[in-house]
Amino acid sequence: MLAFVKNFTPNWFTVGMGTGITALGAYLYPGGPLWLKDLGTGLWILNTVIVGVLLLLMLLRWIFNWKGSIAILHDPIQSMFLGAVPMALTTVINGFIDMGQRLIGHEALTIAMVLLVINVLMALGSGIVVPFMMFISHDHRLDKLTGIWLMPVVPAEVAAASGGLLLPYLTNVAAQKTLMVISLGLWALSVPLAFLMLGFLFLRLAVHKLPPKEMAISTWISLGTLGTGIMGLIGLGKSLPILFGSLGHAMDGAAVLGSFALWGFGLWWLTLSILITIYYAHKGLPFNLGWWGLTFPLGVFTGGTDMLYDQMHVGLIAFFAHLFYVLLAVFWTLVAVKTTGGVLTGRLTLTGAPKPTPMPTKTAVS
């Protein structure tokens, strides 16, 4: 057990990201039956336990393996997954806002606010420290660029979306304005930088072709960037009149228009991600924790589609929202089963990568 703690890596938090967004999607499914909401609530409770255990393991690693924990910042792969920590926590926070009040009352909002403060600090740390380490310590090349570069910068816009969810529950106008400014700042800190990386990723794919099959699922991460961008724009757009008065209503309309543009871009990335996954599936796609990249990005894009439908009330958008969630449920079930099997059988190593297959020994011929 101590060995696991000392070698625990942050990519395990992708389990919490995928499970949490699937739980939220089940609870918020448009027109969903009561049993689906109860299922989503139960899955969120399970995910809260999972994320809590993962945070404890991360804390214990820092205690028992301080040098190894610092070394993660210098690792060009695992350092990117430090962004998974605040994003996994975000699914817990949103659950307290959406489901917690039914379970424990108003205290759920207090817990959500405390966790949001912690989450914002972690998102800022991820979005600033990891890129800085990329500049001074990592050895990166364009031909090695994958979607995981987005992982450390996306948490800020994810936290901004959570701020938009919590805003309507604040009764103090000054507190509303403060949270609104913080959330808008987080969104602005993340989205332009993410779009810069999307441009580089397109160039990398065009010039250097597809990433290695072990990183094939990383192309889905781009979809998550656009999904959280939509959720942040629409969620915060509804509250823009708090800061801008009557002008805020017009800005809300512009936010919906911008969200629709992001949604169309997301459909393109979704289509390309599916094609790339199918391409590699025929060649043999090795399982690792990166497969959880099929869940959270699609989950937040589904949530953004739901919010876009609530604003536009177009049946075609509702159809896509339902279709995306069914696909998300299938992906989560598949990856959860494979992850559980990998843990129980020992096929997954401490870092979440599959154990290498031993080479057959050659017998000497006399």
How large is the average pLDDT for residues 243-256? 91
Q: State the Cα–Cα distance between residues 241 and 45, nearest whole angstrom.
A: 34
Q: Residue for token digits 């205690």? A: 63
Q: How far is CA 336 from CA 18, 81, 138, in A?
A: 9, 19, 32
Residue 60 burial (C-beta neighbours within 10 Å; 0-12, 13-18, 19+):
middle
355 within some domain: no
Supply the pLDDT for residue 366: 31
Q: Are 262 and 226 in contact (CB under 8 A)?
A: yes
363 within some domain: no
| Domain carrying residue 10 | 2-345
366 within some domain: no
Tell me which of 273 and 4 has the higher pLDDT: 273
Counting residues of the chain whose pLDDT is more than 70, the rounded percentage is 95
φ/ψ (deg, to 5) at 283 = -95, -5
162 within some domain: yes
Supply the pLDDT for residue 2: 72
Supply the pLDDT for residue 362: 43
How large is the average pLDDT for residues 110-119? 97
Cβ contacts of 120 within 8 Å, gap of 6 or more: 159, 182, 186
Supply the pLDDT for residue 285: 85
Q: State the Cα–Cα distance between residues 21 and 11, nearest whole angstrom.
A: 16
Q: How far is CA 152 from CA 94, 124, 194, 286, in A?
A: 20, 9, 10, 24
Q: State the Cα–Cα distance between residues 155 and 82, nearest whole angstrom.
A: 10
What's the pTM value of the predicted model, to 2 decimals? 0.92
How large is the average pLDDT for residues 326-340? 96
- How many of the other CB atoms lie within 10 Å of CB of 33? 9
Q: Give the confidence band of 358 by pLDDT, cuts at 50, 70, 90.
A: very low
35 within some domain: yes
Return the bridge partners of 136, or none.
Answer: none
Q: Are 175 and 249 in contact (CB under 8 A)?
A: no
At 348, is the secondary structure helix, strand, or coil?
Answer: strand
Tell me which of 232 and 345 has the higher pLDDT: 232
Q: Give the confidence band of 361 by pLDDT, cuts at 50, 70, 90.
A: very low
Tokens standing for 75? 């690792």
Round the average pLDDT of the chain to a whole number and report it. 91
At 354, is the secondary structure helix, strand, or coil?
Answer: strand
Supply the pLDDT for residue 283: 84
Q: Are 61 and 338 in contact (CB under 8 A)?
A: no
Q: Give the confidence band of 52 by pLDDT, cuts at 50, 70, 90.
A: very high
Quick one: angle between helices 247-281 and 296-312, nearest 10? 140
Supply the pLDDT for residue 282: 86
Go through 176-204 and write b for each residue having 16 or more CB atoms within 10 A of its CB, e for each that does not: beebbebbbebbebbbebbeebbeebeeb
Give, for 28, the enclosing helix (H) or strand (E). Answer: none
354 within some domain: no
Number of domains, the chain: 1
CA dihedral sign of residues 197, 201, 204, 207: negative
CATH number for the domain harbouring residue 109: 1.50.10.150
Supply the pLDDT for residue 364: 39
Q: Give the confidence band of 347 by pLDDT, cuts at 50, 70, 90.
A: confident
356 within some domain: no
196 within some domain: yes
pLDDT digits (tens, 9 = 90+) for 144-163: 899 999 999 999 999 999 99
Supply the pLDDT for residue 365: 38
- Per DSSP, helices labelled H in the chain are 2-7, 13-27, 34-64, 66-72, 84-95, 101-104, 107-136, 155-166, 173-208, 221-237, 241-244, 247-281, 296-312, 315-345
Taking alpha carbons only, the member of 257, 267, 259 closest to residue 319 is 267
